[in-house]
Amino acid sequence: MSVMTVPSSRADPRRIFKALASQEALLAIAVIGLAIAVGLYNPRFLAARNLSDVLLGNAYIAVAAIGMSMVIISGNIDISVGALIGVLATLSGTLAVKGVPIIVTWLAPLVAGILIMGLQGVVIAYLRIPAIVVTLGMLSILKGGLISVTGGKWITDLPDSFHLADLELLGSVPMPVFLMIAATILAAWWMHDSAPGRAIYAVGGNAEAARLCGISQPRTVVMVFALHGLFAGVAALLYATQLRVIQSTVPPNLELTVITASVVGGVSILGGVGTVIGSTLAAILIAEIASALVFIDLSPYWIRAVQGMLILATVIADILRRRRMTGA
């Protein structure tokens, strides 16, 4: 009988192969491979200036994708995140020009993000309304509300001290990159090693089994949405503080880019599977592709089509993998 003998050593070749075949490894290889390939075609792509611009300009998407990954892993979805980031960025900028202490302008989007997303989580979990409907409603409320309240006015004359994204840490690491990496590592560790993190996977993988194990699905879902709101707040902060002018509008299609990053990062749209390391790498890959298009003389408008292909390919691969697993 081939009953297993317990923990295999780290050097197990099967394990190394498995690690290399993981979504995260594939994405990391893709990020590096693409940089090399495009660099061979047009060396200017590899200029430090360009690479850092790609990371700086898109770090907020990776941060938002962390929360989105948690939401999708828990078996839900959120399409209001783009609109929320627009609202929170405007909120932060408005406070800043009003002369509110800078620390408040930085914390306000985080708190508001937690509250708004947490509220959505309550409606989804306790009133049992499908997440797609609740967040679609919130999307319209936020988008419409923002335009109505601000009249689409631009926020200018932001105080210099407001620009958190311009700060550098540990010598010369720009704040957006630092926050992206720190948030990814913290979230990955928490999801991997904490009991509440495990509950997210259990609820998304099999809500009924989780319930019978004493894990409360509603409580987990509210927690996930509140956390997602926190990450959306950080994303909004990075987005707002790197701009000289805040446009008081919702960045177009932002929620789709964020969802794409999660799904391409290996988060199963059916719930229960995925990591935030994957979603961060996918966010970087998507930003890299968008930048590469320019350097290989293609219209940057191709990025939407490329995103579409990536998301379809990943979801099809995921569904096929699941079917094989369940033997259905």
Partner 1 sequence: MTMTTEMHRDDTRATPLLSVRAIEKSFPGVRALSGVSFDVASGEVHALLGENGAGKSTLIKIVSGVFPPDRGEVMVDGNPVNLARPDDARRAGIATIYQELLLFPELTVAENVFMGHAPRTRFGRVDWRTMREKTNELLASLEIYDLQADQIVGSLSVGNRQRVEILRTLSQDARILIMDEPTAALTEYDVTRLFEIVRKLKARGVAVIYISHKLDEIFAIADRVTVLRDGAHVATKPVAETDSAALVQLMVGRRIESLFPKIAAPIGEPVLEVTDLERRPLTRTVSLNVRSGEIVGLAGLVGSGRSELAQTIFGVTPAEGGEIRIAGRKVDIRSPAQARSLGIAYVPEDRGTQGLVRPMTVRENFSLAALAKVAFAGFIDRTSERRLAADGVARFAVKTHSLEQVAGKLSGGNQQKIVLGKWLANQPKLLILDEPTRGIDVGAKAEIHRLMGELAAQGLAVLMISSELPEVLGMSDRVLVMREGRIVAEFSRAEATQETVGTAMMGSRKSVEQAA
Question: In the bound complex, what is the minimum distance in angstroms from residue 6's beta carbon to partner 1?
Answer: 4
Tell me the three state secondary structure of residue 169: strand
Radius of gyration of the chain (CA): 20
Q: What kind and span of H or E run contains 174? A: strand 173-174
- Taking CB under 8 A as the criterion, which residues in 134-193 touch partner 1? 193
Q: What is the DSSP string of 92-156?
A: HHHHHHTT--HHHHHHHHHHHHHHHHHHHHHHHHHS---HHHHHHHHHHHHHHHHHHHHTT--B-
Out of 13, 171, 212, 297, point to the residue binding partner 1 (CB under 8 A).
212
- Taking CB under 8 A as the criterion, which residues in 226-245 touch partner 1? none
Decide if residue 205 touches partner 1 (CB under 8 A): yes
Cα–Cα distance between 145 and 56 in angstroms, integer? 29
Decide if residue 208 touches partner 1 (CB under 8 A): yes
Tell me the three state secondary structure of residue 246: strand
Q: Which is nearer to partner 1, 150 or 217 (CB)?
A: 217
Question: In the bound complex, what is the minimum distance in angstroms from residue 194's beta carbon to partner 1?
Answer: 5
Decide if residue 13 touches partner 1 (CB under 8 A): no
Q: Which is nearer to partner 1, 135 or 217 (CB)?
A: 217
Q: Which is nearer to partner 1, 37 or 209 (CB)?
A: 209
Out of 9, 48, 214, 301, point to the residue binding partner 1 (CB under 8 A).
214
Binding segment (CB under 8 A) for partner 1, from list 45-53, 98-106, 126-134, 214-222: 214-222
Cα–Cα distance between 154 and 275 in angstroms, integer? 37
Out of 158, 187, 263, 273, point to the residue binding partner 1 (CB under 8 A).
273
Out of 131, 200, 210, 240, point to the residue binding partner 1 (CB under 8 A).
210
Contact between 205 and 256 under an 8 Å Cβ cutoff? The reply is no
Q: Which is nearer to partner 1, 163 or 322 (CB)?
A: 322
Question: In the bound complex, what is the minimum distance in angstroms from residue 271's beta carbon to partner 1?
Answer: 8
Q: Spell out a b/e string for 13-51, using b for 16 or more CB atoms within 10 Å of the CB, else e.
A: eeeeeeeeeebbebbbebbeebbeebbeeeeebeeeeee
Q: Which is nearer to partner 1, 299 or 326 (CB)?
A: 326
The phi, psi pair for 214, rounded to 5°, reads 85, 15
Q: Which amino acid is at 35?
A: A
- Taking CB under 8 A as the criterion, which residues in 62-101 touch partner 1? none
Binding segment (CB under 8 A) for partner 1, from list 2-10, 36-44, 114-122, 245-253: 2-10
Decide if residue 195 touches partner 1 (CB under 8 A): yes
Q: What is the CB-side half-sphere exposure of residue 170 using CA atoms within 13 A?
A: 8
Binding site for partner 1 (CB under 8 A): 1-4, 6-8, 14-15, 193-196, 198-199, 201-202, 205-206, 208-216, 268, 272-273, 322, 325-326
